[in-house]
Amino acid sequence: MQNGQHFIEIENVSKSFRLPGGGVVNAVKDVTNYISRGEVLVIIGPSGSGKSTLLRTINGLESYDEGQIVIDGVDLGHAHTDMNLLRAQVGMVFQHFNLFLHKTALMNVVMPQTVVLKRSRSEAERTARELLERVGIADRADNYPSQLSGGQQQRVAIARALAMNPKVMLFDEATSALDPETVGGVLELMAELASEGMTMVVVTHEMGFARRVAHRMIFMDAGEIVEEGAPEHFFTNPRNERTQRFLREIL
Amino acid sequence: MLAMYQNVFPFLLQGLWQTFVISMLAIFFGSLVGAFVGLGRARGNRWTVRGFGAYVHMLRGTPFLVQIYIVYFVLPTTNLAVFQLTSFQAAVIALSLYTSTYVAEIVSAAIEAVPRGQNEAAQAHGFNGFQTLWYVVLPQSFKMMMPPMGGVYVLVIKNTAVLSVIGVTELVREANVSIQRFPSFILSVFLLVALMYFCYCYPVLRLTRWAEKKWGGLHLNV
Ligand SMILES: Nc1ncnc2c1ncn2[C@@H]1O[C@H](COP(=O)(O)OP(=O)(O)OP(=O)(O)O)[C@@H](O)[C@H]1O
Ligand SMILES: [Mg+2]
């Protein structure tokens, strides 16, 4: 019934990890969710609840054991799906930025365009300079990651992901590793992207951001979606007892 | 003194040349094979990881002297045509294999030392396995490889001395022959030999330092 209706379809997805000792962790358990074009979905939940794992299955960095994920009509589980092409179209911003350490800020944004999208060097550079301008660090284009603050590195990382013209942007605790004074700027940039209509899935502990920017929120615990709703719902009368406890602790 | 130079020096130079040729060939082929084996261990499938792992451990767990004996004296007893080697060929092969195990360890360690996040970032932007290796991982591991590589190359050069046991006329062999002819020169001959090794090894070390510096613009936090 839902098929074909939604931009991103996550249906009955489960993922478990086998531990070296022989144990098994059910990181994501039977998760179903549908994300529309232009929607900003914020995922919250305690540590180890499976937020990152779910996010990473959406761009194929992590495979899933059961269920189905379809992005804009492309089934990630299909044997003929070009996963590299798909990853190029799904932007990912990491907690620890993961900028290419051997490249300047500019070249971090240029390289994926020339290597993956086969853009010409000059076109890629033009795009890169525009994007660095847009994220507010055009003046640091020739600096290496080690010469930039965390906040600046994360801006470059966002520019790098945007350069691929992604259909959706995934953020995995993009501000958790930043100094408090640089968190605001990066969140502002993310809010701007959201207001421009970018489809976004955001894992974050920044409840102010969630309240202001999210269209919808989900609370995960022990690999499951425990509660789902609009931000007002979460911050005024969360139903589930586990959600209540989590929000009490974090707010 | 002059007599010594006239009678001994040309032979020592010839030995040094032989040492140079054999070690350079071994460094070249050993690095090629070692890079391949190291890649296979760091990035290959289950079978290359195990197979190349066994290769490295077997060669590193036996003395070089035994390896050279096996290549030169034992393999020919199989009567297979390919194993009927001259001492020069046997020397290059044995020393290349020896070199490759050290290079393999350095290459795989350097690849694995590149943070996982670097691989993931490349993957997340749509790089395939080869592109990730070529554009992201190898440029970063290259700098890490340089200093230990210099150490291995010097080790290889010094190990050519062992090759005299199968009759390769490298530097030490020439020195021994000279001393048999002119026993009173023993001190000056071996001082000269030591100096020659040093004059060869030291620039090799400097060269790898230089290569490390040249790629020092990488600004890696490692
Ligand atoms: N590669 C892995 N191998 C084994 N177990 C893993 C792996 N990745 C995640 N897990 C486990 O899966 C569970 C969910 O982890 P996940 O990283 O998705 O949680 P999270 O909600 O993102 O937590 P955090 O807020 O700490 O980032 C945890 O128990 C974790 O230990
Ligand atoms: Mg996480």
Cross-chain residue pair B218–A101, CB shorter than 8 Å: yes
- pLDDT the model gives residue B216: 56
Please state, in angstroms and rounded to a whole number, the distance separating the CA atoms of residues B31 and B38. 10
Question: Could you tell me how far CA A46 lies from the centroid of its own chain?
Answer: 17
pLDDT at A12: 97
CATH number at residue B75: 1.10.3720.10
The interface predicted TM-score (ipTM) is 0.92
Residues of A whose CB is below 8 A from B136: 100, 102
- C-alpha distance from residue A40 to each of A13, A34, A72, A190, B117 (Å): 20, 12, 16, 10, 25
Q: How remote is the CA of residue A85 from the centroid of ligand 1, in Å?
A: 26
Q: Provide, as residue numbers in chain A, all residues whose Cβ is less than 8 Å from the Cβ of B117.
A: 94, 96, 98
For A243, the 3-state DSSP assignment is helix
Write down the pLDDT at residue A251: 80
Residue with structure tokens 């962790």? Answer: A25
Do A9 and A68 contact (CB within 8 A), yes or no? Answer: yes
Q: Look at the alpha carbons of A50, A55, A60, A61 in this order and tell me if their dihedral is positive or negative.
A: negative
Question: Quick one: pLDDT at residue A210?
Answer: 96
The structural domain count of chain B equals 1
Neighbours of A9 (CB within 10 A): 22
DSSP conformational letter for B160: G
CA-based nearest distance B121→chain A, Å = 6
Residue B221 lies in a domain: no
pLDDT in tens, B116-172: 999 999 999 999 999 999 999 999 998 888 889 999 999 999 999 999 999 899 999
In a domain, B51, yes or no: yes
> d(Cα A241, Cα A245) in Å, to the nearest integer?
6
Strand partners, A225: A220
What is the arithmetic mean of pLDDT over A154-178?
A: 97
Residue A1 pLDDT exceeds 50: no
Structure confidence at residue A40 (pLDDT): 97
B148 found inside a domain: yes
Q: Is residue B41 part of a domain?
A: yes
Read off the tokens for A7.
Answer: 């931009």
Query: Is there a domain that residue B111 lies in?
Result: yes
pLDDT at A2 over 50: no
Q: How many CB pairs under 8 A join A and B?
A: 73
- Identify whether the C-beta of residue A203 lies closer than 8 Å to the C-beta of residue A51: yes
Q: Do B131 and A115 touch (CB under 8 A)?
A: yes
Q: pLDDT digit string (tens) for A23-34? A: 999 999 999 999
pLDDT for A171-181, tens place per residue? 999 999 999 99
Q: How far is the CA of A118 from the centre of ligand 1 (A)?
A: 34
Q: In this structure, are residues A69 and A62 in contact, taking their beta carbons and an 8 Å threshold?
A: no
Q: Hey, which of A19, A24, A25 would you mutate to test ligand 1's pocket, going by the most ligand atoms within 8 Å of its Cβ?
A: A25
Give the whole-angstrom CA distance, residue A52 versus residue B132.
Answer: 22
Q: What does pTM read for this prediction? A: 0.87
Residue B220 lies in a domain: no
Closest residue by Cα to residue B141 from B74, B42, B45 = B42
**Does residue B105 lie within any of the structural domains?**
yes
Count of residues for chain B? 222
- Residue B207 belongs to what domain range? 2-215
**Nearest atom, ligand 1, residue A46 CA:** 25
Positions in chain B whose pLDDT score sits under 70:
1, 215-222
Which residues of chain B does A100 touch, with a Cβ-Cβ cutoff of 8 Å? 118, 121-122, 136
- Residues within a 6 A CB radius of ligand 1: A 17, 19, 25, 27, 45, 47-53
Average pLDDT over residues A92-99: 97
pLDDT for B81 equals 85
Residues of A in contact with B131 (CB under 8 A): 115-116
Q: What is the DSSP letter of B133?
A: I
* Ligand 1 atom at minimal distance to the Cα of residue A45: 21
B49 occurs within a structural domain: yes
Task: Tell me the pLDDT tens digit for each residue of A57-86.
Answer: 999 999 999 999 999 999 999 999 999 999
Q: Which residue has the higher pLDDT, B99 or A251?
A: B99
